[in-house]
Structure formats: structure tokens, C-alpha cells
Amino acid sequence: MDTKIIPVDSCKPASNDIGCPPTNGFVSTIQGSSTSPVPVSMAEATLGRHIARRLVQIGVEDVFAVPGDFNLTLLDHLIAEPGLTLVGCCNELNAGYAADGYARARGVGACAVTFTVGGLSVLNAIAGAYSENLPIICIVGGPNSNDFGTNRILHHTIGLPDFSQELRCFQTVTCYQAVVNNLEDAHEQIDTAISTALKESKPVYISISCNLSAIPHPTFSLEPVPFSLSPKLSNKCGLQAAVTAAAEFLNKAVKPVMVGGPKLRVSSATDAFVELADASGYALSVMPSAKAGLVPEHHPHFLGTYWGAVSTGFCAEIVESADAYVFVGPIFNDYSSVGYSLLLKKEKAIIVQPDRVVIGNGPSFGCVLMKDFLRALAKQVKHNETAYENYHRIFVPEGHPVKCAPKEPLRVNRMFQHIQNMLSNETAVIAETGDSWFNCQKLKLPRGCGYEFQMQYGSIGWSVGATLGYAQAVPEKRVIACIGDGSFQMTAQDVSTMLRCNQKSIIFLVNNGGYTIEVEIHDGPYNVIKNWNYTGLVDAIDNGSGKCWTTKVRREEELVEAIQTATGPKKDCLCFIEVIVHKDDTSKELLEWGSRVSAANSRPPNPQ
């Protein structure tokens, strides 16, 4: 019986329900087969075809690439793989962002660039993926194998015969690095790298010497090559002890609550989280960075986003007044804690991480998987709806923003009211770093509506590449991207790639003349940017192909008409809507958050 690598669940969702993130993940397993390994012709038994086949086997159908002389032969072999499409990007940074967006939808992504100049360019995107626990296979075309160990100086380097500069840079932002400069161990290095990415749910770096991709080798001669990943298991005694202690802790509480965090994704624990919520009756909310379908917003006990002082109305009051809270997969940083201002007490908290549970100030239980813990705990907690009943008593429905008067300048809150009405299970939202964080956080996601943003790393410009990658991964969804003008100026070029791929996303470009999120943290002349003719730029990129439609809107009635056009006659092409608003038109949440983050940033040094 032979084995081959396959995801535990289908890498490409079988339905449009992206509201439940891919659970493929991040761990693969052995699948038995009754047939013998199929021989591969020597023409296809090359290193390049091997890595191409491996990518297809783990669920990658698109590789985002920028050609360079060190990776050209490798790209030939990626193109030759029937199940793989090479998506050429305008720059390496966007290729990395696209792989990030792709991984969010499919569970794993891949990019291919050239040595050093390409590698160091994509590095920022790979760092962001590392921070967000996304498995990305970053492939770099490296120097000729004969040049290693010599004193030769190569182009695309800093002028030294040491070729390890790129490798050293990647060591801190990837969980495994493979430098393939001989064929004898190439199979082992590539498979170890890919398996590590899936197990750790982090990016990996694979450098392949430019003269090796086209060479056949016996280790690549069978399809599929035996390959397996051992599943992670909880320590049974530790699991039992953790569940017993947690149940005792929670069953004594009067009004416990649950809060979902971003590490639900890496743990594939969304279903287990819902099981506990259903069994316990607790009120539940979501941390801002977990608003990605990780906690179902249609759940009857869902309160909204817990984000300290900028939470959904009445959510923070219920969470922070609880006498016990279960935080599942949280990340507490200065942004998610609103400048370290959350009113939480450690002794009231159960913190559930992917493989560890900490209860109050007391015991910590290691080797306990999140999914196992939540499911076992659901069988031992008492049903308690007190916190939700309290919420129901104090809740006052929020009003709707006042409609703009005829010819009145459009307000941002009205814009997002109209975006809310566009959402369905056939859409996904990509929110750029900035005020879109706060405005999109208030959107109520229908069942199956996708949602992504990059909170931990917060690299402005991320959303352009991420929109490209997400739309390529899930073509049945229409992506709605909300991007600020400052962020768009960072990465605008790959609208070109969206057009080449015939994508039909809707981009709302919020033109308010600068870096508004920075203004609310610390203002200065550096936050003002040169205004562009954004629709003119996109029209120039389209260059008459007829694959996109652009418009500028300044009034609410113009926005309504633009949305009707984008979702009607122009529903099958890329739509770019430039929304021109006042420079000081921001969400109230950004005003509050910005002042608190500013205070955290400006703390004086501790006394020496």
C-alpha cells in the first residue's frame, strides 16, 4: 500500500461557505491506495516537476511569481504541471501578499521569486504571513550549485561571495529553510519544508539552485512518493485534568462568557468553539482579528466584537463585567488591547491556546490541543445563559447613520451602510489597515460571507495583493475590498494582475487625502499624500481591454448608482469605485483607539 500527501479536508471548499475557514490544514494525513506507485517518465522526473506536483497535492493550484534569471527554468517546470497555474505579479511584495490572501481562503499558498533582490522584496509579506499563522511555500531561484563554496561574486547580491544573506533574513520569519544545491537530498529537503509549513502553519523558505530544476533524478521517478504527516494528539491525562479544572472554574461562575481569537484558525477549532457555545449557553464575542468567519455572527448568543473601548455596543460591558471569561486563541497586543487598556483580570480568565490551557492565576496544562479541550469541556459545563440574558436586558439597537441630503458630500458611515447591504454568502470582504479596520468591523456578516484583514502585522498596502490572491483562490466569491488611498499607493500595480486573471472584485478606494489612521495616532505633514487620479490610473492599467469599470463618487446618490452598476451591468468585470470624502471623516472608534494607542506609544521611559 502506498501513501500520498492529501489534506484532512478538501483544500478547496466544496461550497461557498467561506464563513467557516478551511480546516484543511494545517495538518495532512496518510491516505491509503490499493494501487502501486505510478512511474513517472524521466522527462518529468525532475526537481522542478517534483515540487510542482507537491504543490498540487497539498491543494495549491496557483503560484504567484515574478520571473528573474535564477528562477526561469524552475518556472518552466511549474507551468508544465497540468494542475498548476502561474500567476505573474508586478512585484515580489504583491506576490507574497497574494500568497497570503490565497492561504486565507485555501489553507496554503505559494510564491516564487528570484535570488536576493526578489527574496528580500517578498520578505515583508512573508513576515506578515508568519505573524498571521499562514502556511506559505516561498520558493526562491538560487545561484548555480557550482558557485557555492567559491569566492565568486554574483549579481543580485551585495557584492560578497557569501550567498547566505538572504537565508539569514528568512530564518526569523519562516519555520523552516531549505537550500537545495544538490539533487541527492533535494527530495528530502523539499518534503520536509512543505510538511513543516503544514504542521506549524507558518511560511517556509525553499531555495533551489538555478541549474537543478530541469535535471531528472531517481528520487523523483515515482508518483506519488510515500509521504505522511503525523497528526498532533493531546496528552490524555493532561486533557482530562485541564477539562476538570476548567469545568470546576466555570461552573462556579455566575455570568461566564466566551471570546474567540485569531488562533482558532490555526487550530481548526471553529466547530469545537461552537459546540462549547451551544452546550454552555454562554454569551460569545469575537476579538477583532478573529472576525474572519472564525466565530459565527449568526449564532443566537453572539454579542459582537470585543475590542475594549471600541467594542460593539454593550459587548465590552458584558465581557468585562463577567466573573469568568474563556478566551480561545487570543492575541493580546497593543492594537487589540487598545493601548493596553482592556479591563480584564487574569484571575477570571481561562486562556486556551492551540496546545496549552491556562486557568486564572493557577495551573497551566501543556500538550492539550484546543479542539480536543473545547469538545471535552462542552460535555462537562453547566448551561448558563446569565451573561446573555443581562446583555438582552440592557441592549438598545443601534441607529442607522442619517441619510445624506441631496448633493451633500458623502459620509463614510453612509458608504459602509450601503456596503453592508451588498454582503451575502457569495461575497467576501478584505479590509485594509486603517479606518477600514473599524468600519468593516461593524459590518454584520451573513452566513458564508468571507472576511479578512491583517491586524497583527498591519502592513499598509497588504490588501491589494491579498485581494488578488483571495479572489484567485475562491473565484465563485466576489471580493469587496475597502482600501485607503495611502495604502493603495503602496501596491497599486497589481490591479493589473487582477485584470489579467479576469477577476471581478469590487474595490472601494477611500480617498481622504492621507494616512488617516496615523493622523489619529500622531499628526504631522508627513501624513498628507499627493492626490492621484485613481480612476484614471486604473483606466490606464486596463488600457482599453474592457475588463474593468471605474467611477468617482462624491455624493450618496452617486454611490447608490455606482453600486447598482457594479452589481448589475458590470457584475462580470473588475469595478473600481473611488469614494472622495472629507479628510477628517473617520469612525468614532478610530478616534478613541488612536488616542489610546498614542498614549501607549508615548509612555516615558521607566526610571533607571
Beta strands in 210-348 (DSSP E): 222-223, 257-260, 283-286, 302-305, 325-328
Backbone conformation region of residue 324, classed left if phi is above 0, alpha if psi is from -120 to 50, else beta: beta
Evaluate whether 159 touches 192 at the Cβ level (below 8 Å): no
| CA 234 centroid distance within chain | 26
Known binder of ligand: residue 128? no
Q: How far apart are CA 591 and CA 584, in angstroms?
A: 10
Cell 446583555 belongs to residue = 391
Distance CA 3, CA 489 (A): 47
Residue 139's SS3 state is: strand
The answer to whether 151 is a known ligand-binding residue is no
Residue 544: Cβ-neighbour burial (10 angstroms; 0-12, 13-18, 19+): exposed
| DSSP string for residues in 350-405 | EEEETTEEEETTS-EEES--HHHHHHHHHTTSPP--HHHHHHHHH--PPPPPPPPP
Secondary structure of 27-89 in HEC code, one letter for each residue:
CEEEEEECCCCEECCCCCCEHHHHHHHHHHHCCCCEEEECCCCCCHHHHHHHHHCCCCEEEEC
Type of residue found at 13: P
Name the nearest CA neighbour of 265 among 243, 229, 295: 295
* The pairing of beta strand 204-209 with beta strand 427-431: unpaired
The total number of residues shown for the chain amounts to 608
Query: Is 485 known as a binding-site position?
Result: yes
Closest CA to 180 of 165, 167, 197: 167
| Residues forming a β-bridge with 575 | 506, 549
Give binding residues as ranges: 485, 512, 514
Which residues define the annotated binding site for Mg(2+)? Answer: 485, 512, 514
